[in-house]
A and B are shown apart, each in its own frame.
Chain A
Amino acid sequence: MTALGFELTVALRFLREGRMQTMLIIGGAAIGVGVILFITAVLTGVQNDLIQRVTGAQPHVTIKPPEELVAPLVAGSADAPRLATIQARPQRLTTIDGWQALARMAEMTEGVLAVAPVASGSALAIKGDASRSILVLGTDLERYQRVVRLDDKVASGVLQLEPGDALIGIELARDLGAVLGDRFRVQSAQGASEVFRIRALLDLGSRDLNRRYIYTDLRAAQSLLGIPGRITSIDLSVRELMGADDVAGRLRAQSGQLIESWIQNNNFIFTAISNQDIMTLLIKVFITIVVALGIASVLVVSVVQKRKEIGILRAIGATRRQMLNVFLLQGVIVGVGGALLGSGLGMLLVVVFSHVLRNAEGKALFSLHFDYRLIGVVVVSAAVLGLLAAVLPARNAARLDPAQAIRG
């Protein structure tokens, strides 16, 4: 028993002696920790699923050329207002000047993961008698994959964009009556026309996108849209999905272009997720408080029960500091024990409920891979929590007057 030193030895013995109390409070802490980990896993899963659904075929941030505005030649002022009818200009297909430099700059910006140039515009897809209005999106597939993953959206075919190849939405293929390997013609509003071969059918997660999108290589789209060598937007992916607005802000400050983030375009989701986060934070805080109060109350009772023993230890030479440490250590041990057990419980809940909670496609709502760093954080926080919860009872123990405690 000596190897542990006085305080730890006595702390462990006291906990073992009050077996029932110790088990109950470690159990309570474990349930708290388990539920916190479980909620975190479920919520992360649900939110990621939602975001995935919304942003599936969307880049996180897009750099576009500035909109064309109408500026009145003679501006009015407050004391001399002028009457003017300002008619909004129709927005032509505009391109980004000097996009190579801009793309490099974007790539260097903090928080940006990947960058891909895109030339896109509307056109008509024609096959036989069928014609459909579509959006042609020409890009460098390899770079674009790092911005928006397409490989997990392939319903059939091969993900490959040689000149003359196209990847099209599954609904569009159905509308055109086309299958994999068929050729179809695309005619742009600018009058150019080109024939593409279908290399893959894509399921982009929404009927609307599946009906309108076709992906081609950059050069084909440029010539089709009549903007050779130029692009209409730069698409980016960011490291922190929820921080897309911050990245957009940084880019805006640097480039002077029009920057849009997925958050701006889908504000309702962002708000919903933020509110959800606040609610769960609140739940976690309350669970934490309840666990801390539980630990504190068990230790307060333990100090009362162990009054006499504390008195003896003090009489035979244990200092106040040592008695304080004995009870602080009990708090830490209970906290860490609860956190370890709770992590196991959390993992178990995740495994069990991954069979129960499913998304619209019937896939598990959250991934089974557990964040082990999170467990580390939880264990350390539980140790600190246990320590704080033990402060009050430990001070009671340290303050006991040995003469009185022994007397009874």
Chain B
Amino acid sequence: MATHEALIRLQGLRKTYNAGLPNAEEVLHGIDLNIQPGEFTALIGPSGSGKSTLLNIIGLLEGGSGGSYHFAGRDVTAFNDEERTLARHQKLGFIFQFHHLLPAFTALENVQLPDLIGWQRGKSEAQATADMRARAAQLLDAVGLQDAHHKKPQELSGGMQQRVAIARALVLSPQLVLADEPTGNLDTQTSDSIFELLRRFNRERGTALLIVTHDPRLAARCDRIVELVDGQIAADRANAVERS
């Protein structure tokens, strides 16, 4: 542990909503959690256990109310909105349950969006534009959407939309991808293929993944399972299966 730095280190993390009000509610009661670079972790637990809140905090979408959070050795506990936004852009990728593509953009454009957000005018514009496009096209090919580059999300099936979302999450080569029930509304066959895709990127690129899931079949195929119950970690075990 001392030699190589944990990617995520949470110590005594708490989260209270409506702090100071009569309806204040603490949903995370002191979480201690380390995640290593390249780790493929499932986060499971019943509804209302605080999974989504924990995912949002790790994903720097919101801050905690107590405890500390270190990302790749950096204390991000007290980051302001701008610092969190920058870190999300550079270090993190997101895959949501309902795909959450932008309906007005084609598949290829959706994948380019993270690049475009950080795009600076001026320096060899044409080259940068071409690079951006090539990167997005390559990823879409890698997720098996060679023929759907110029389709709008509503022209794609649920599984295909989720593949676009995966490509978008990976386009800037993040250190960690957070997935909130990425196969939640897909049939089992599609779920499996999506899961395999995530697994492949995890192995090929060494991208760490943290997946919230209700599906015990999928959880069982991750390296590690963290179970959250009532805002506390109830179980944390390594999975020996499927390490080939």
Contact A322 B102 (CB under 8 A): no
Contact A403 B100 (CB under 8 A): no
Q: How large is the interface on B (under 10, 10 to 19, 20 to 34, 35 or more residues)?
A: 35 or more
Contact A2 B133 (CB under 8 A): yes
Distance between Cα atoms of A315 and B180 in the complex (Å):
13
Shortest distance from the beta carbon of A304 to any chain B beta carbon, whole Å: 16
Contact B119 A5 (CB under 8 A): yes
Contacts of B105 in A (CB 8 A): 1, 13
Distance between Cα atoms of A313 and B90 in the complex (Å):
14
Q: Is B240 an interface residue (CB 8 A)?
A: no
Contact A6 B119 (CB under 8 A): yes
Chief secondary structure at chain A's binding surface: helix
Contacts of B184 in A (CB 8 A): none
Contact A316 B121 (CB under 8 A): no
Can you report 25 A-B residue pairs in the complex whose CB atoms are below 8 A from each other? Answer: A1-B112, A2-B112, A2-B128, A2-B133, A3-B125, A5-B116, A6-B119, A13-B104, A17-B103, A17-B104, A313-B102, A313-B117, A316-B113, A316-B117, A316-B168, A317-B118, A318-B85, A319-B82, A319-B85, A320-B82, A320-B85, A401-B62, A406-B61, A406-B96, A406-B100
Number of interface residues of A (CB under 8 A): 27
Contact B61 A5 (CB under 8 A): no
Q: Is A16 an interface residue (CB 8 A)?
A: yes
Q: Is B69 an interface residue (CB 8 A)?
A: no
Contacts of B81 in A (CB 8 A): 320
**Which of B's residues lie within 8 Å of A, judged by CB?**
52, 56, 59, 61-62, 81-82, 85-86, 88-90, 93-94, 96, 100, 102-105, 109, 112-114, 116-119, 121, 125, 128-129, 132-133, 168
Contacts of A316 in B (CB 8 A): 88-89, 93-94, 113-114, 117, 168
Contact B113 A313 (CB under 8 A): yes
With known contacts A1-B112, A317-B88, A319-B85, A403–B61 Cβ distance under 8 A: yes
Contacts of B61 in A (CB 8 A): 315, 402-403, 406
**Which 7 residue pairs are nearest across A and B when measured between Cβ atoms?**
A317-B89, A13-B104, A403-B61, A17-B104, A2-B129, A403-B56, A403-B62
Which residues of chain A from 1 to 42 have a CB within 8 Å of any chain B CB?
1-3, 5-6, 9, 13-14, 16-17
